[in-house]
Homo-oligomer: A and B are copies of this chain.
Amino acid sequence: MQEIISFYGYKKLDISNALVVTGFPTVGMVGTIAPRFIINTLKLDPIGAFSSDFFHPITVVSKGRPLPPVRIYGGRKKCGIDGGCDQIVVITSEFFPPTNVMRPLANKILEWCEKRNCSSIVSVEGFNMANGGKEVPLYGVASTKNGRAFLKNQKVKLMEEGMVSGISGVLLYEGEIKKFNTMCLLAGVHSDFPDARAAAKVLEVVNKMIPEIEIDPEPLYEEAGKIEEEIEKHMEKAKPRSPFIQVSPMYG
């Protein structure tokens, strides 16, 4: 059998020790807004893509370039005066793969990161709050003790008991098994509409993971309304234009 998911590299880049941020379109669009903000702020370039016959057949046009639905973005290492070097890689998509392709995709991402000696994966998520106060609540889960210690240091409340579904969920438990540090940050959101403030909250923590790189989430707070509107318009466009004929199941 052919592999279900294949990787294509746009450009070779040494991403050893990089922090990999993953985001998919969960509630509040936190997994869409945060990766997009990082890519724009750090001016990251597409460095690769995962593709599959089972992903949504669509191209995402970015700066005029047509790219596959699941993309990998990266930039150069930034080194500080103390010799420390940081780098961020972002894996994101506007679409979910089908349920049964989520674990294969998560495992492909993990394998890809391990092979390139990336340091950690942070997946960004939202969760629905029944009713919330002023402060955006933030929970964290990590696959390793080091990851949990780091989150504690950053004053992120650790989820002790609970569940995380989707690609983030599989990245966490497979990361635990493979002893690869996967972290998940879940920000509370008020609705299914884009919530830029929740995304900003998540980025505050991501920012502290990479001392040599500055991702100031301030603009996300200031222009929350504008950003949310833009994202919503964008997602609107993402709705399929083609009257997809219903698939009938086939023989094997």
Contacts and interface: CB of A to CB of B under 8 A. Distances in A.
Contacts of A159: 61, 64
B59 A173 contact: yes
A51 B97 CA distance: 19
A: interface residue count bin: 35 or more
A212 interface: no
Taking the full assembly, how many copies of this chain does it contain?
Answer: 5
Interface string A41-78: 00000000101111111111111111110000000000
B96 A165 contact: no
A83 interface: no
Interface stretch (A110-118, A121-129, A215-223): A121-129
Interface stretch (A12-20, A84-92, A199-207, A237-245): A237-245
A81 interface: no
B57 A170 contact: yes
B165 A66 contact: no
Given A67-B176, A248-B98, A241 B57 contact: no
Given A25-B243, A64-B148, A165-B242, A59 B170 contact: yes
Contacts of A177: 8, 49, 68
A211 interface: no
6 contacts: A27-B241, A52-B103, A61-B159, A64-B160, A96-B242, A162-B237
Interface of A: 1-2, 4, 8, 24-27, 49, 51-68, 94-104, 106, 125-128, 141-143, 148, 158-170, 172-173, 175-177, 182, 184, 192, 234, 237-238, 240-252
Given A59-B141, A64-B159, A101-B251, 14 more contacts: A1-B2, A27-B242, A49-B177, A56-B165, A57-B167, A61-B141, A67-B173, A94-B163, A96-B243, A98-B245, A99-B245, A125-B241, A166-B241, A192-B243
